[in-house]
Structure 1
């Protein structure tokens, strides 16, 4: 049985998947959309797979907190990104459970395993990229020491996590995932695009590990502080047109201004206003490529002082003017 999930309470099978790691070796890109209407949850899922790589995006709306038993022998490397909610994963082959909160990620490998999957919140949004062992070792050949060490464990068949401490997603990871989910390309061009993004996320994850474990100073020492920084980010994104100043954002988040500045950079790899600028421009690029809005409309909605100011910032980041991007 490659993968199966059961309700721990009554042992009923909730979901089973007969596909194994080898089944993802399709030369053609395979795309699937699924809707699971379970007694305890409504689930929307998308998956893409090709050349030993599988990507999965899912939205879970639980009616109650659940504990589910999982069992599988997929023999795959998994990049796991928890976008929303909190999920606890135990594997009998690991010495402790992994609790992935909002915007946390990690890299796992297991030939087989079984354990408990628990949702600690009612809304959970996840994204994952899985590589069968051949694909992972091929892609990471010549990689940095972080991925080389991980690859050595894969070769030995060891159950392993990249980081003992879950890492936090930065704007580049979030943008890459959004680009995958919203990709409009078709067939071979889409396959090429998804491959490039899977490699980008793998590199970003290795960089995040290196940055976290080589940071000289940590400003966020408690989970509460991290939650406040995440809330500050969400508030900022919700007010792109009229963003608050640092002091106002600190008050909204319930944290002092110094810790907001230092903690935001520590968690998301950018300053508050650097992140604001990046997010505005990435959203603008998406709207222009999808021809949803004009440059003037985008400049106004995202709070730029003028179309010229927007055009200058856009060209500085992407190398082309907004009119040539649309």
Structure 2
């Protein structure tokens, strides 16, 4: 079977065949499915015992779908929007991924509900066959080695008991995978490098939480407001609000916004915004469709010189050298 996905309201089923993991080269699939209460689109890539899956759903109302799988897989979950609950056979309890959360899991039998608590859902998942993951992670840090020991023992496990927050480095890595324009052979190599990078970032994120002295944000509501503040900054990248204005928009006091943002995203709000602007600018420069001046002003820089200075400081090359 591999993987089933269905609703109770109307007959709906799709399966991801385990055999897709086998074979050489890079396999790509994309599909759109009309759901009882909306539409789902998905892209997936298979190579070297690895599957990358990106899924979006747009719904007419909040709903949920049942799913189950019978394949032994290690899964990196990045929940970009919506809420997903996962129950692994052999685990004590289900784990739930909310917006902007990630985790790593191993299981041989799994089932659960994809609970779409918003009208839009976005999910990014990388799955490994056992041998592929153990080969990649064998030179990892102690946390990854302990996780690998559980896999070898056949014990279903979560990498982190508490879900971790998706930071800008991870988000940029995901975006670079989804927007990759390389030809098949180079794309496969690129995907492998980014898969390893995401695993490293995930392991480092876990270590950061482990060595953190305290957690400032105690309630889900406050975390949700911090993520809202981030999304508002991203949506208003050309003319962002001041920190005081952003705090009011998010419904937080300025101190909680500053400290909470640093806890969730590991940098200040405007450091995050600056890095995001430059990453987006670099991607547009690589595409080569717009002149440097247009990109600079689209990213909210008041002058080409200001943009060039910031760009060179971050990437050690000038924008013209990237083009």
- The TM tier, using the shorter chain, reads over 0.9
Conservation of the 8 A alpha-carbon contact between 1:105 and 1:167: yes
1:16 aligned to 2:12? no
Alpha-carbon spacing, 1:256–1:128, altered in 2? closer, same or farther (3 Å):
same
> 1:208 is paired with a residue of what secondary structure?
helix
1:85 pairs, out of 82, 85, 94, with 82
Q: Output the CA distance in 2 between the equivalents of 1:239 and 1:230.
A: 14
CA displacement 1:277-314 (0-9 Å, x = unmatched): 10000010011111121111111122212101111111
Conservation of the 8 A alpha-carbon contact between 2:90 and 2:155: no
Conservation of the 8 A alpha-carbon contact between 1:87 and 1:120: no
Q: Output the CA distance in 2 between the equivalents of 1:183 and 1:311.
A: 25
Conservation of the 8 A alpha-carbon contact between 1:90 and 1:117: no
1:100 aligned to 2:106? no
Q: 1:9: Cα distance to partner? A: 5.0
Alpha-carbon spacing, 1:162–1:270, altered in 2? closer, same or farther (3 Å):
same
Partner of 1:32: 29
Q: 1:13: Cα distance to partner? A: 4.4
Write out aligned runs for 1:288-307 (5 A): 288-307=285-304
Alpha-carbon spacing, 1:125–1:42, altered in 2? closer, same or farther (3 Å):
same
Q: Output the CA distance in 2 between the equivalents of 1:35 and 1:138.
A: 34
Q: 1:64: Cα distance to partner? A: 3.4
CA displacement 1:225-271 (0-9 Å, x = unmatched): 10111111111112222222211111111111111111111101111
Q: 1:155: Cα distance to partner? A: 0.6
Conservation of the 8 A alpha-carbon contact between 2:312 and 2:318: yes
Partner of 2:3: 3
Name whichever of 84-93 and 181-190 sits farther off.
84-93
> 1:163 is paired with a residue of what secondary structure?
coil
Partner of 2:58: 61
> 1:139 is paired with a residue of what secondary structure?
helix
> 2:214 is paired with a residue of what secondary structure?
coil
Conservation of the 8 A alpha-carbon contact between 2:86 and 2:111: no
Q: Which runs of 5+ in 1 are unaligned?
A: none
Q: 1:25: Cα distance to partner? A: 3.3
Q: Output the CA distance in 2 between the equivalents of 1:13 and 1:93.
A: 27
Equivalenced residues, count: 323
Q: Output the CA distance in 1 between the equivalents of 2:61 and 2:229.
A: 28
Conservation of the 8 A alpha-carbon contact between 2:56 and 2:120: yes
Conservation of the 8 A alpha-carbon contact between 2:57 and 2:121: yes
Q: 1:131: Cα distance to partner? A: 0.7
Partner of 1:200: 197
> 2:239 is paired with a residue of what secondary structure?
coil
Q: Output the CA distance in 2 between the equivalents of 1:292 and 1:257.
A: 39
Conservation of the 8 A alpha-carbon contact between 1:80 and 1:128: yes
Partner of 2:233: 236
CA displacement 1:33-63 (0-9 Å, x = unmatched): 1111122331110001100111000101233
Name whichever of 71-80 and 172-181 sits farther off.
71-80
Q: Output the CA distance in 2 between the equivalents of 1:243 and 1:7.
A: 41
CA displacement 1:178-231 (0-9 Å, x = unmatched): 000000111111111100100011011111111112211221111111011111
Partner of 1:167: 164
1:179 pairs, out of 176, 185, 188, with 176
TM-score (norm 1): 0.95
